[in-house]
Structure 1
Amino acid sequence: MIAMIRDGDGLRVPEIEIGRYRTRKGHIAVNVLGSYNTNMQFIYVLTGWEGSAADSRVLHDAITIPNGLKVPTDPLELEIPEADSIAEFISTIETDPAWSNWRDELATTMYNEWLNRNA
């Protein structure tokens, strides 16, 4: 079974394993860090951090453990086969007000839905 998780959500921990997994709101949960590729396939998953752990602590652990998450050193470095033969390669994308408006509307909708669920 695959559980889809958004930022701020968590997986429940069985009562027998409660330990230190209590969140600031009193729930028992565990953080999961997942990384996926452009085909939406998970390529890295790290579990086991208590629900109140800061995101930076979880990320630091993922990067520093042996065989952990590998982060590219140059984010602008693209692995495109035969990039020289691509005539219309786009290196930058200009901003568009339509995109900004859509993003702002989506953020507002998500926030309002969250408020309604937690009211």
Structure 2
Amino acid sequence: MIHIHKNRGRIYIQMDAYHMGTEDIVILISGGDRPHLGTITAGTQNQPLQTIQFQQHQEFYITEEIAISLRKQWHGNFAICGGIHIDQINREEINQLIEMVIEMGNELTLYLQK
């Protein structure tokens, strides 16, 4: 398992990645006041991404961002599950959150290249 976490102000998020065999990976992104399952994005290098969005959740912005980056480096299948809820989040915090997730995705990619 790969565990990455970030904390800025009242925003705490974590990313856990689990290998399934030697070629596939499942990534869980959670945090905030009420972690949950809001969106799932799955893919591989040779096929279009597929995203499932539950109810009105907006986490596809982060799961698809990670997926686009990951598919450039990862040769197997992957699934990214995301659910972050922060009560009364403001625009600045949303931007910080996206920045943090991108940083975590970059760290994960570097780790997987080793």
| TM-score normalised by length of structure 2 | 0.28
Structure ranking higher on relative contact order (CA contacts 8 Å, 6+ apart): 2
Which one has the largest radius of gyration? 1
| TM-score normalised by length of structure 1 | 0.27
